[in-house]
Chains A and B, each alone.
Chain A
Amino acid sequence: MIRVDITRLLRVGILFVAAWNLAACKENPTVVIYTSVDRHFAEPILQAFEDETGIKVEALYDVEAAKTTGLVNKLIAESDRPRADVFWNGEFLQTQLLAQRGLLTAYATNGQQDQQHLWTAFGGRARVLIVNTTTLPQDQWPDSLADFLEDRWPGDQMAIAHPLFGTSATHAAALYAAWGDAHAANFYRSAQARGVRIVDGNSVVRDLAVKGEIMFGLTDTDDACSALENGEEVAVVFPDQSDGAIGTLVIPNTVAMIAGAPHPENGKQFVDYLLGENIALELAEAGWFHVNGTDVLTASCNLPDQVTVMQVDTAALYEALARIKLELRDILVR
C-alpha cells in the first residue's frame, strides 16, 4: 500500500515539475530588463517599447528598502548564467562596478559613453536641498552642504539619507574626491555628532521635510520635486552654486548590455530606444530627470535654468567607493 502511495507521489512530482517547465517556456521575442529606476517612471517607457516593437519586456525593478543590495548583487550572482539583457540604472557607480567585474559587454551608441563603450550615460538627477517653507523663511534657507554643520539650525532639524547606500553613497564618494578624505570624513562625523538625522533613504528625507519634522534635508531632484508638484510647502535649492563653489552632484542614468545576455539583439534595440531623444523628454516630463548636463529640463520645480555641476572622475570615484563606504560604516554604524 505504501509502495503505491510513493509511486503516485513520484508521478505527481514529475508531472508537477514538467508543468512548471512548460510554463517556464517563454515566447520570443523577449527582452529582459533589470532596472533600478523607480517602477512608476520606468514602467510606461517599457510598455511603450513593447507596444512599438512587439518585443515582450520582462522587467525587474529594485526597491529603495533593499539598500543597493538588490539588482546589482543579483546580476553578480547570475554572472555564470546571465538572465538579464539590459541593466538600466538610476546612477553610474554601480554600473561601473559591473563593468569592472567584466559583467557588461560593449555596445557603441551615440550617447555619452565610458571609454570601453560598456555603458552610456543619459539624463540626470541632481542632489538638492529640500526646505520646509513653513518652518524656514526664504532668507534663512541653506545654500550649501556646509550648512549642515552650521549652528544656526538645530542638528535634529536636518536630515540626510544614509551615505552607505544608493545615490547618497555616490554623493559621499564625490565629496571625498572634492574635499579630500579628512575633510569629508570630518563632515559626516560632525554631522552625526550634532544630531543630524541619518535616515533610511532619500524619500524619507523628503517625507520629513514635507511633514515639517525637519527644516531641510539633502535628497535627489526626483524626490524633492515630486513633493513640490504635489503642492507641499517645500522649496528645492541647488547647493553650492556661488562663484568658486564646488557645485552640486548630477547623477546621470546609465544603460548597459549584459555580457552573455540571452537576447542581445533585442537588448540593443531597447538601448537604442531608451537613448532616443523623445524618451529623455518623456522622463523629464514624468519627473524622473530634471537635469541634462548643466541644463535644467523642467520648470515645475522652480529651479534656475542652469546648474553648476560638481566635476567628478567616474573611474576614480569607483576605485575609492568601497574604501569610503567602509570608512563611513565605521563612523556612522555604531
Chain B
Amino acid sequence: MLGNTHISWSTNLARLIFVVLILIVAIGPLISLVIDTASWAWRSSATDFDNIASWSRQFYLLLKSAGFAIAVTIADVLIAVFAASRFWTWNTRVSWTVAALLFSMIAIPPYIHILAWRFAIDWLNAQLGTVGLPELVFSGWGAAWWVQTMALAPVSTGLALLGLYSVDSRLFDVGRLVRPDIDAFRLIVLPLAAPPLLAASGFVFLFTIVDYSVPSAFLLNTYALEIFAEFSANHSTARAFLTSSPLLVLTLIVLALTLKFLRQVPVRPHLRKRSRQCTPFWPRWFARLQGLAVAILVIQIVVPIFSLGVLTNNWTAIEDAILSASDEIMATARTAALASVIGIPIAFFAASRMGRVRTYWWFLVLLPIGLPAPLVGIGIISLWNNDWTYAVYDSELILVLTYLARFLAVATLVMYAQLRRTDSLLLDAARIVRPSGTAYWTQIYIPLMMRSGLVAMILTFVLALGELPASLLTLPPGSSTITIRVYNYMHYGASEMVASLCLLIPLLTIAYSTILFLLAYGWRQLLPKLPRRVE
C-alpha cells in the first residue's frame, strides 16, 4: 500500500516535470507572444490597428498560399507512397539506407535547393543549346512548386517508409491469398500505414505555408511574405502576430483534420519482420509510377549533390570551409544533437497524453508548427531574457531551446503516430509481471518505441541543422551556426564556400544517424534474450 502511494507520488511528480517542460519549451514562446499582443492591444488606440488587415488582398493571398501548399503536399505524398512502396519490397537494410540518405537531405536549407536547381537547369540548358534544342524555362509558380516539392520529399518519403514498416506483413500476405497484390496493398497496407503518412502530409503542408523563401525566389508572393512585410514595416511583434493569425487558424484546421484521421486509423501492432519470400506483383501502371517516384527521389538527391559538387570545385575549398567554420560546425552539431536527445522524452510524454486528455492539449503542443519562425524567436527572447534565466539565454542552451520550440511538435507527431500502432496488450502483459520501473522502460517500452524514436531524433536533428530565422534572433553573441555561416557567405557570392558547407550538412546527418543506430543496436544487444522455442 505504502509502495503504491509512493509510486503514484513519484509518477505524478514526473508528469508535473514533463508538463512544466512542455509549457516552457514548446508553448512558452507562444504564451509569451499572446501576452505581449494582449498587452499591446490594451495600450493601443484604434489607429494602431490600421492596415493590419486588408481583407480582400490578404484573403486572396492566403488562398493562393494554401493552394500552393496543397499542390506541394499532394505531389510529395504521391512521391512518398509510390517510392516507399517500392523500397518496402527491397531488402530492409537497403531501404533504411535510402531513408537515411533522404533524411540527410532535409537539412539542406531551401535556398540551397534553389541554388542547386537553378545551377542544374542552367547546366542543362547549356547542353541543350549545344545541340540546338530550346532551353527549359524554370521560373514562376511551376519552378517554386518543383523546388519546394523536392525540398520536402525526403520528409514525406521517410515517414511513409516508417509507416509501411510498421505494418504486420502477415496481414498483407493474408489479403494476397484472396485478392490481387495491389488490392491487398490498397485496402490493407495503406490504411494501416496511414498515421505516419498523414503526419507527413500535415508537415509538408505546414512547412510550405509558413515558408516564403522558395516561392519568393521564383517571384511568387505568399501569405508568409505578408507577415514579414508587416514585421519589417512596423517592427511590432503584436501586429505581426495578429497578421499571422489567419495562418494559425489554417494550421489549427490542418492539425485537427490530421489528428482526427490519426485517431480513426485502426490500431494494429507489427510483431513480425516482413517475409521476403514472395515479392509482390504490381500492375504495370503501378510499377511504372513507383519507378518514376524512385527516379524523382534519386534526382532529388543527385541534383543538389551534383550542383554543390561542381560549385565546390576542389577539395581545398572543402578543407578551407571546414577550417574556417569549424566552430560553427561543432556548435551546430552539439546543439542540434542535444535538442534531439532532450526532445525525445518530452515528445514521448506529450504524445502519450494526446490520446487521454482534452483536445486543447494537443492543439497547444502542435500549434507552434504554424507560427512564423521569427515570432518564435521573439517569443523565446521575451521568455528567457531576464535576470533569472539570463545564464541560459546567454549560452548555447538557448539554441537548444529554440530548436525544441520549433520542432518538438514534429517529434511529438511522429511519436504519436507510432503510439497509435503500439499494442496496448503487450504493455498490459508487461504490467502483469510487474517488472521494476527501470526494466519496464528499458526492456519493454523503449524497444517498442525505438524505431519512431530514432526517426523523431534524426528529424529533429536535421531540421535543427537547417534552422535559420529563429536561431538568428536567439543566437548568443560570439557564436554562430553552420546555416547562418552559409547565408553569410552566400551574400557576397562565395559559392565555393557555400557549396562546401552545404555538402557537410548531409554528412553530419549521416554521422549522427549512424551513431544513433549503433547505440540502438547496442541497446538491443544488452536486452535479455527470449529462450529459444523448443520444437
Contact = CB atoms under 8 A, between A and B. Distances in A.
B491 interface: yes
A71 B469 CA distance: 11
Interface string A180-213: 0000000000000000011111011011000100
B92 interface: no
Nearest to B372: A69
Contact of A20 (B54, B381, B392): B392
Nearest to B436: A1
Interface stretch (A73-81, A133-141, A145-153): A73-81
B395 A200 contact: no
Interface string A44-64: 000000000000111111111
A6 interface: yes
B245 interface: no
Interface string B350-379: 000000000000000000000000100110
11 contacts: A6-B10, A21-B395, A61-B484, A61-B488, A66-B472, A78-B381, A164-B229, A165-B232, A203-B491, A206-B493, A321-B233
B477 A69 contact: no
B395 A20 contact: yes
A326 interface: yes
B230 interface: yes
A333 B468 contact: no
Given A63-B472, A169-B232, A207-B493, 15 more contacts: A40-B491, A63-B487, A64-B487, A64-B491, A67-B228, A69-B374, A76-B235, A77-B382, A197-B219, A226-B492, A321-B233, A322-B234, A326-B51, A330-B54, A334-B60
Contacts of B317: none
B405 to A, nearest CB: 14
A34 B477 contact: yes
B475 to A, nearest CB: 6
Contact of A74 (B381, B386, B436, B480): B381
A309 interface: no
A227 B491 CA distance: 12
Which has the most chain A C-beta neighbours within 10 Å: B111, B475, B493?
B493
A2 B7 contact: yes
Contact of A65 (B7, B51, B396, B487): B487
A171 to B, nearest CB: 14
Interface in A62-99: 62-70, 72-74, 76-78, 80-81, 83-84, 97
B156 to A, nearest CB: 25
Contacts of A81: 385-387, 390
B216 A325 contact: no
B411 to A, nearest CB: 19
Nearest to A327: B51
A23 interface: yes
Contacts of A313: none
Interface of B: 6-7, 10-11, 13-14, 51, 54, 57, 60-61, 111, 122, 213, 216-217, 219, 221, 225-226, 228-235, 237, 374, 377-378, 381-382, 385-387, 390-392, 394-397, 436-438, 468-469, 472-473, 475-478, 480, 484, 487-494
The 9 closest A-B pairs by CB, nearest first: A58-B478, A325-B233, A58-B477, A63-B487, A2-B437, A24-B395, A21-B391, A77-B381, A39-B488
> Looking at chain A, what size class is its interface with the partner chain?
35 or more
Contacts of B385: 77-78, 80-81, 83
Contact of A333 (B229, B390, B488, B490): B229
A65 B488 CA distance: 9
B71 to A, nearest CB: 19
Contacts, number: 177
A223 to B, nearest CB: 8
Most central of A33, A333, A334 by chain B CB within 10 Å: A333
A76 B377 CA distance: 12
A237 to B, nearest CB: 20
Nearest to B213: A65
Given A63-B488, A66-B469, A81-B385, A97 B61 contact: no
A18 B262 CA distance: 41
Given A326-B51, A326-B233, A38 B491 contact: yes
Contacts of A57: 478
A67 B177 CA distance: 59
Contacts of A62: 472
Interface string A5-48: 11000000000010011011010000011100011100000000
Nearest to A230: B493
B12 to A, nearest CB: 11
Contacts of A73: 231, 235, 237, 374, 378, 473
A333 B221 contact: yes
A164 B54 contact: no
B395 A23 contact: yes
A41 to B, nearest CB: 8
A329 B226 contact: yes
Contact of B57 (A77, A321, A334): A334
Contacts of B230: 326, 329
A238 to B, nearest CB: 21
Given A3-B10, A65-B111, A334-B57, A227 B493 contact: yes
A151 to B, nearest CB: 21
Contacts of B487: 63-65
Nearest to A62: B472
B213 to A, nearest CB: 7
A230 B494 CA distance: 11
A69 B375 CA distance: 10
B149 to A, nearest CB: 20
B488 A5 contact: no
B395 A203 contact: no
Contacts of A162: 216
Nearest to A326: B51
